[in-house]
């Protein structure tokens, strides 16, 4: 029982970490119909800048803010200069964002070096505690709690607020929203920056979780994020959260017994779900494009 709970906690922590990255991708991909293959680059830059600020200031919370702001700033630049000219053209989006992904990765090597960077957990989140003969790692519980808080807040904003209504209506009919006097371009810019900020947040949280960050983390975790978004359904925050938990738990359980096939299992889960529900767990049957 102790092993099962430990593996479950590890799986939930991994799942929530992936969710924070995939949630931003789901917003950009599912709501705006933008195939942003540079999303992992935003994640990596958030990790490096946030970790650098954390290590130099001694404040993990300041590092988190720095990572989020880094993601949002890069998101602003990308949306204005790179994404806007290719809205509606998925082939061009894939090619240009893949190029941006490569550039962002090389810039990390130029600025921070290609060597792995250490990222210890802050003192108030380091270590573990015992409850009922089961050892819980503080930092993993912190990631789980943070992930669920972000999930609830995102779902509330998208379904219960005026901004969420405008975003969803703009996805379905941007001309109608513009006719009502709403600057839909600014709304979509905000969504893009929000998604980029979540990528930066996820990157900062990854550091102490893995204890080290490398320039290749962007591509590695981006693949998992795409799998999660596809399984959950485009634009569905609840679906993204549920699929991230499924992928995280599968990784924890399978990696314990057969670590060599953990990634293959994720792909098999995605294939199985798409055979049963091609639109994903919570995706709409018809996707609306921008």
For residue range 1-43, list pLDDT tens digits in order: 778 888 899 999 999 999 999 998 888 887 777 889 999 999 9
Collect all residues with Cβ–Cβ distance below 8 Å to 282 and sequence separation of at least 6.
232, 233, 236, 238, 239, 242
Q: To the nearest whole percent, how much of the chain has pLDDT over 70?
A: 97
- Residue 181 is predicted with a pLDDT of 80
For residue range 248-285, list pLDDT tens digits in order: 998 888 877 887 787 788 888 889 888 988 888 887 66
Cβ 229 vs Cβ 29: under 8 Å: yes
CA neighbor of 197 nearest in space, from 45, 16, 15, 24: 24
CA neighbor of 119 nearest in space, from 232, 20, 206: 206
Cβ 235 vs Cβ 220: under 8 Å: no
Strand partners, 130: 135
For residue range 169-189, list pLDDT tens digits in order: 776 777 777 787 888 788 888
DSSP-derived 3-state class of residue 58: coil
Cβ 25 vs Cβ 233: under 8 Å: no
Q: Give dist(CA 118, CA 52) in Å, integer.
A: 10
Cβ 223 vs Cβ 1: under 8 Å: no
CA neighbor of 102 nearest in space, from 221, 222, 218, 220: 218
* Interior angle at CA 194, CA 9 and CA 87, nearest 5: 120
């Amino acid at each position: 029982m102790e092993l099962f709970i430990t593996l479950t906690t590890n799986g939930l922590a991994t799942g929530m970490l992936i969710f924070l990255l995939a949630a931003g991708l789901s917003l950009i991909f599912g709501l705006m119909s933008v195939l942003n293959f540079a999303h992992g680059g935003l994640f990596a830059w958030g990790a490096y800048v946030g970790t650098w600020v954390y290590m130099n200031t001694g404040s993990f919370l300041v590092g988190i803010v720095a990572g989020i702001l880094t993601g949002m700033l890069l998101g602003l630049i990308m949306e204005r200069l790179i994404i806007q000219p290719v809205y509606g053209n998925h082939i061009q989006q894939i090619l240009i964002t893949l190029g941006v992904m490569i550039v962002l990765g090389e810039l990390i090597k130029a600025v921070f070096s290609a060597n792995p960077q250490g990222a210890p957990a802050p003192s108030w989140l380091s270590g573990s505690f015992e409850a009922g003969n089961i050892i819980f790692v503080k930092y993993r519980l912190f990631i789980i709690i943070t992930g669920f808080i972000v999930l609830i807040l995102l779902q509330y904003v998208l379904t219960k607020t005026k901004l969420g209504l405008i975003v969803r209506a703009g996805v379905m009919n941007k001309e109608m929203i513009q006719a009502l006097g709403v600057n839909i371009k600014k709304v979509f810019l905000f969504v893009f920056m929000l998604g980029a900020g979540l990528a930066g947040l996820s990157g900062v949280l990854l550091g102490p979780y893995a204890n080290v960050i490398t320039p290749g983390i962007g591509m590695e975790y981006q693949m998992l994020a795409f799998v999660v978004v596809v399984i959950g359904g485009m634009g569905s925050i609840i679906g993204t959260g549920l699929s991230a938990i499924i992928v995280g738990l599968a990784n924890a359980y399978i990696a314990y017994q057969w670590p060599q096939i953990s990634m293959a299992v994720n792909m098999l889960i995605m294939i199985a779900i798409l055979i049963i529900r091609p639109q994903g767990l919570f995706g709409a049957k018809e996707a609306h494009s921008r």
